[in-house]
Amino acid sequence: MKETVNIKLLFLYLLRKCYLVLLGALLGALLFGGGYYLKNFTFAPSPDWVAKSELYLTYAPEVRLENVYINDYTWQTLSASDACLDEVMANLSFDTTKEYLRSVATAGLESDVRLVILTVTCKDPKEAVDIAHAYENALIKLGERMVDVEEVQIFTSPQTAEKKTQDNRTLRMCITGAVVGAVFALLILLFAFALDDSVFLPEQTRMRYGIPTLLCLDKDGNAISEWNKETGKLNLENTLKDKTKVYLSDVSSETGCGREDIKALAEKIVSFAPAGEVLQCTDGINEKPEAVSEIKNSDGVILLLRAENRRGKLLERALDLLKTQNIPVLGFVLYGTHKKRLLRYLGSREK
C-alpha cells in the first residue's frame, strides 16, 4: 500500500530535531562570519594609506563652463600619461616605475569641472604623501598648458595620509551564514525523514504492509495509554479467537530479541489477553531464518517490531520470507514506543 506524507508526524519530527536547525544556523554564522572576519581583518594584508589632493581650475574669461570639453576621462588619461609620469618621477626623492605610479594614483573630476581630485593609495603613508605632492606639481604644469585653462591652484594638499578603513560586514555575513546553515540543516532533516523507513505509529504498519498493529508497548513494556490497553486487549482476543497455536517472533534486526527476550515480551502481551496457552515464542526471523520451520504448522505469527529502529528493509525481508512460506502474519506488536511522543501525536492528555 502507498503511504502518504504525514504532515503532523513531519511537524513533530522537525520539532524534536529543531535543535539541529539551530545548530546549523550557529555553525553557518560561525563559518561565514568567522571566515569573513579572519580573511578581511585577522589575516588581512597590511592596510592601505590614502593621500588626497584637490586642484582648482581657473578657466579663461571667454570660456563658458557648460561648453568645457575637458572632462573626467581627460584628467584620468592625463594623470596616466608618460608626460605626467616623467614630471612626477622628476619630483620624487626615491626611485620608482611608471607602472607602479599608474597603479597607485588616479585623478579625475568627481562632480565639478573646476575641481580635480587626486587620490594616491599606498602601503606606506609617507610614500603616499610624497607621490601626491609630486603629482600636484606635475598636474599644475600640464594643466596650465591646456588652451581653456588659465591657472591651476592647489586647493587642498595632504600633510599626512589616512588609513583606508574597510567596511565591516561581519554581522551581515553572520546573519547570511545563519540563514544558509538553518536552511541546509532543514533540508538535511527533510531528506533524512524521507529516507527513514522506521515505524513511528501503529497505523503505519497497515498503510505500508497491509498488516494491523494489535498493541503498542512503551520502553517498559506497558501500554502507552488506558485506551491503547483496552483496544490492545480487544485486538488480541479477536486475533487469537479460534486459534490453537500462534507464534511470536521479533523482526526488528538481525541481532534483535532472542527467544528469552521474546518470552519476556510474551508475558507482557499475555497480561492483556488470557491466551497463554495459544501464544508460543520462537527466535527472531532475521536472526535465525530457520525459525520459520517451527512456525509452519501454526495458525500464524504475530511479529514483534521495535519502534523507530530504522530497519525497514530487514522487516520487508522477513515479511517476504513469511509470504514465500505461506505463513500468515496476524499482526504486529510495536514495542519500545516513545510514549510522550506518540501521545503528543495522538493529541492525548493522558500522562
* Whether residue 331 is found in the same domain as residue 220: yes
- Domain membership of residue 290 (yes or no) is yes
Domain stops at, among 161, 183, 215: 161
- Domain membership of residue 2 (yes or no) is no
* Whether residue 37 is found in the same domain as residue 54: no
The pLDDT of residue 162 is: 93
The pLDDT of residue 158 is: 94
The pLDDT of residue 351 is: 54
Report the distance separating Cα 289 and Cα 283, nearest Å. 9
Convert the pLDDT of each residue in 43-89 to its tens digit: 878 889 999 999 999 988 888 877 777 788 888 999 999 999 999 99
- Domain membership of residue 70 (yes or no) is yes
The pLDDT of residue 172 is: 95
The pLDDT of residue 258 is: 60
Query: In the structure, what pLDDT confidence band is assigned to residue 97 with cuts at 50, 70 and 90?
Result: very high
Judged against a pLDDT cut of 80, whether residue 350 lies above it is answered with no
- Domain membership of residue 300 (yes or no) is yes
Taking Cα atoms as reference points, which of 78, 64, 70 lies closest to residue 118?
A: 78
- Domain membership of residue 92 (yes or no) is yes
Report the distance separating Cα 52 and Cα 133, nearest Å. 10
Query: In the structure, what pLDDT confidence band is assigned to residue 256 with cuts at 50, 70 and 90?
Result: low
Work out how many domains the chain is built from and give that number: 3
Report the distance separating Cα 116 and Cα 71, nearest Å. 10
Residue with cell 485506551: 227
**Residue 107 vs residue 65, higher pLDDT:** 107
Q: What is the mean pLDDT of residues 323-334?
A: 94
* Whether residue 216 is found in the same domain as residue 339: yes
Report the distance separating Cα 349 and Cα 351, nearest Å. 6
* Whether residue 326 is found in the same domain as residue 218: yes
The pLDDT of residue 198 is: 85
Q: What is the mean pLDDT of residues 244-264?
A: 77
* Whether residue 174 is found in the same domain as residue 29: yes
Residue 156, domain CATH: 3.30.70
* Whether residue 156 is found in the same domain as residue 177: no
- Domain membership of residue 337 (yes or no) is yes
* Whether residue 306 is found in the same domain as residue 215: yes
Q: What is the mean pLDDT of residues 152-161?
A: 93
**Residue 133 vs residue 278, higher pLDDT:** 133
Can you say how many angstroms the Cα of residue 170 is from the centroid of all Cα atoms in its chain?
Answer: 19
Domain stops at, among 112, 137, 161: 161
The pLDDT of residue 200 is: 85
**Residue 270 vs residue 141, higher pLDDT:** 141
Domain extent for 302: 202-346
- Domain membership of residue 15 (yes or no) is yes
The pLDDT of residue 324 is: 93
Beta carbons within 8 Å of 316's beta carbon, 6+ residues apart? none
* Whether residue 62 is found in the same domain as residue 157: yes
> Is there a contact between 32 and 174 (Cβ–Cβ < 8 Å)?
yes
Q: What is the mean pLDDT of residues 246-252?
A: 89
* Whether residue 131 is found in the same domain as residue 236: no
* Whether residue 141 is found in the same domain as residue 221: no
* Whether residue 105 is found in the same domain as residue 221: no
Domain stops at, among 140, 175, 195: 195
* Whether residue 90 is found in the same domain as residue 171: no
Least confident of 43-57, 127-141, 247-261: 247-261
